[in-house]
């Protein structure tokens, strides 16, 4: 039996290959899909009187729609509380938030690229690291948070480290970390999104979030990207 | 024209937040504040039954000779109490803003346990920017 990808078995121990877990006909009170049975019908003209389900909807329809920040804040607060009960320390909590962000990030990349390139005559993809970093800094941040990030920096000590800086991360706006946990950065979720986008573009890296407050911006956060050696080697060859 | 102090009382009558701004009221120990908050909670419940015209909410303004106490009762049973000087006219508005700040900085904070004392830096900061020193 194949081992599930470590990123995809965050909170439940069940493996992806167990079909009953995902079957819409199994009665499970946790997943309430409206019109669950229509997943199995062929795509095509829907029966009159049956609302098209979410999978058939045009992807560009919700391109510019926004989610209520308050609704997300409550959801994220519960995510953090739920995770906190099941971990043994700050590092573990950050790692779990990172994994959850990873799952969101794979979808962000797909949707973003589809929406940006599907209408253009010559779709292209970033294959070099610096353009990819620039596109994360503007497009991913714009797609997820509605505004570009604040700065990009390159580390002077290490060749393989780059940083994206956000002076006021929206997901952390209402979070006040207690004094005894002040190394925790809930932006590990955002770091997971960035890591998934980089992985999707073929630039594996380890991404972490660090709380770096300043006088002017007390919730300033730095997303640290540590590139894999293979990426550096490839950049050298392509130079 | 001053705001003396702000109390937040949870639905069971326990004091979860207390902060003083302008001078003008006696300084009490934290235990005395807890007792006062519990008493106020009881009085508020009694006054809601005293209305001659049927059901009513509890007392909203209690005035003394040198101060005024404005109480905002939310739909969830949390009470926001603002102690101000008699001349202060903006107490209701300030309490609304405090309620908004509470809903943001306290309720959305994953590190806050509901109905427990509020220890959120975010809430303190927002109250400071809202009320400041209490003097206009």
Query: What does the pLDDT read at residue A15?
Result: 39
Give the separation between CA A157 and CA B29, rounded to whole angstroms. 53
Residues of B engaging A, defined by a Cβ cutoff of 8 Å? 104-105, 107-112, 119-123
**Which of A90-99, A177-186, A190-199 shows the lowest mean pLDDT across its residues?**
A177-186
Q: Measured between alpha carbons, how far is A97 from B46 in angstroms, rounded to an integer?
A: 47
The pTM (predicted TM-score) of the whole model is 0.79
Q: Do B108 and A77 touch (CB under 8 A)?
A: yes
Q: Which tops the pLDDT comparison, B117 or A36? A: B117
Which alpha helices (DSSP H) does B1-136 contain, by range? 30-47, 91-101, 121-131
Mean pLDDT, residues B23-48 taken together: 91
Contact B123 A176 (CB under 8 A): yes
**What pLDDT is stored for residue B109 in this prediction?**
92
Per residue in A13-54, pLDDT (tens digit) is 333 344 434 444 434 344 444 444 444 444 455 556 677 788
Task: Provide the pLDDT confidence category of residue A112 given band limits of 50, 70 and 90.
Answer: confident
Task: Say yes or no for a CB contact (<8 Å) between B111 and A175.
Answer: yes
Q: Going along B39-78, which residue ranges are E strands?
A: 61-63, 68-73
**Residue of A73, A80, A176 with shortest CB distance to B121:** A176
Given this model, what pLDDT does residue B43 score?
A: 93
Question: How many A/B residue pairs have CB atoms within 8 Å?
Answer: 41
Mean pLDDT of B89-101: 92
pLDDT of residue B29: 93
Q: What b/e readout covers B93-112, taking b as 16+ CB neighbours within 10 angstroms?
A: ebbeebeebbebbbbbbbbb
Minimal-distance CA residue of chain B relative to A80? B110
Gap from B120 CA to chain A (nearest CA, Å):
6
Whether residue A177 and residue B108 make contact (CB cut-off 8 A), yes or no, is no
Contacts of A181 in chain B (CB under 8 A): 111
The reply to whether residue A176 touches residue B108, judged by beta carbons under 8 angstroms, is: no
Mean pLDDT of chain A: 80
Candidate from A70, A77, A173 with C-beta closest to B110: A77
Give me the pLDDT at residue A49, please: 64
Least confident of A34-43, A50-59, A122-131: A34-43
Give the residue from B5, B3, B14, B8 showing the smallest Cα distance to B99: B8
Which pLDDT score is estimated for A67? 85
pLDDT of residue A98: 95
Would you say residue A75 has pLDDT above 90? yes
For the segment A137-192, what is each residue's pLDDT rounded down to a tens digit?
898 998 899 889 998 999 888 888 999 999 999 998 899 888 888 788 899 999 99
Burial of B26 (0-12, 13-18, 19+ CB in 10 A): exposed
With H, G, I as helix, E, B as strand and everything else as coil, classify residue B17.
Answer: strand
Asked whether the beta carbons of B83 and B67 are under 8 A apart, the reply is: yes
Compute the average pLDDT of residues B53-63: 87
Predicted pLDDT at A35: 41
- pLDDT of A163 reads 92
Which single residue is written with the structure tokens 């010559």? A122
pLDDT tens sequence across A228-239 = 999 999 988 988
For an interface test with A, the pick among B111, B117, B124 (most A C-beta atoms closer than 10 Å) comes out as: B111
| pLDDT tier, A7 (very low <50, low <70, confident <90, very high otherwise) | low
Asked if the Cβ–Cβ distance from A174 to B108 is below 8 Å, we say: yes
**A127 confidence band (pLDDT: 50, 70, 90):** confident
When pLDDT is averaged across residues A192-215 and rounded to a whole number, the result is 93
| The pLDDT of residue A89 | 87
Query: Is the Cβ–Cβ distance between A194 and A104 less than 8 Å?
Result: no
Closest Cβ opposite residue B111 in set A73, A74, A177: A177
Looking at residue A54, what is its pLDDT?
Answer: 80
**Cβ <8 Å between A178 and B109:** no
Question: Is residue A223 scored above 90 in pLDDT?
Answer: yes
CA distance B109 to chain A (A): 5
B118 vs A23, residue with greater confidence? B118
pLDDT score recorded for residue A45: 53
User: What mean pLDDT is predicted for residues A210-231?
Assistant: 91
């Amino acid at each position: 039996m194949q081992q599930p990808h470590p990123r995809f078995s965050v909170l439940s121990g069940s493996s992806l290959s167990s079909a009953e877990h995902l079957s819409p006909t199994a009665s499970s009170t946790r997943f309430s899909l409206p019109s669950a049975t229509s997943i199995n019908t062929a795509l095509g003209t829907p029966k009159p009187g049956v609302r098209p389900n979410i999978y058939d909807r045009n992807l560009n329809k919700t391109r510019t729609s926004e989610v209520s920040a308050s609704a997300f804040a409550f959801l994220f607060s519960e995510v953090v509380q739920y995770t906190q009960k099941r971990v043994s320390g700050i590092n573990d909590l950050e790692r779990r938030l990172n994994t959850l962000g990873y799952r969101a990030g794979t979808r962000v990349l797909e949707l973003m690229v589809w929406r940006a390139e599907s209408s253009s005559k010559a779709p292209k993809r970033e294959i070099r690291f610096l353009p990819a970093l620039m596109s994360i800094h503007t497009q991913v941040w714009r797609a997820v948070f509605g505004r570009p990030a604040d700065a990009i920096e390159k580390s002077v000590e290490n060749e393989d480290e780059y940083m994206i800086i956000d002076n006021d991360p929206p997901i952390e706006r209402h979070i006040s970390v207690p004094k005894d946990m002040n190394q925790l950065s809930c932006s590990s979720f955002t770091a997971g999104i960035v890591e998934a986008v980089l992985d999707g573009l073929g630039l594996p890296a380890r991404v972490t979030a660090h709380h770096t407050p300043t006088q002017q911006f007390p919730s300033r956060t730095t997303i640290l990207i540590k590139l894999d050696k293979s990426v550096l080697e490839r950049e050298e060859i392509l130079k | 024209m001053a705001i003396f102090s702000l109390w937040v009382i949870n639905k069971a009558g326990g004091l979860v937040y207390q902060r003083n701004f302008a001078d003008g009221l006696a300084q009490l120990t934290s235990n005395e504040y807890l007792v006062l908050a519990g008493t106020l909670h009881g009085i508020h419940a009694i006054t809601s039954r005293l209305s001659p015209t049927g059901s009513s909410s509890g007392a909203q303004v209690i005035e003394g000779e040198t101060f005024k106490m404005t109480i905002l009762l939310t739909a969830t049973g949390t009470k926001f109490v603002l102690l101000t000087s008699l001349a202060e006219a903006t107490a209701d508005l300030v309490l609304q803003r405090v309620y908004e700040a509470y809903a943001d900085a306290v309720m959305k904070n994953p590190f806050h346990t509901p109905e427990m004392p509020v220890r959120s830096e975010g809430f303190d900061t927002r109250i400071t920017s809202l009320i400041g020193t209490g003097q206009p």
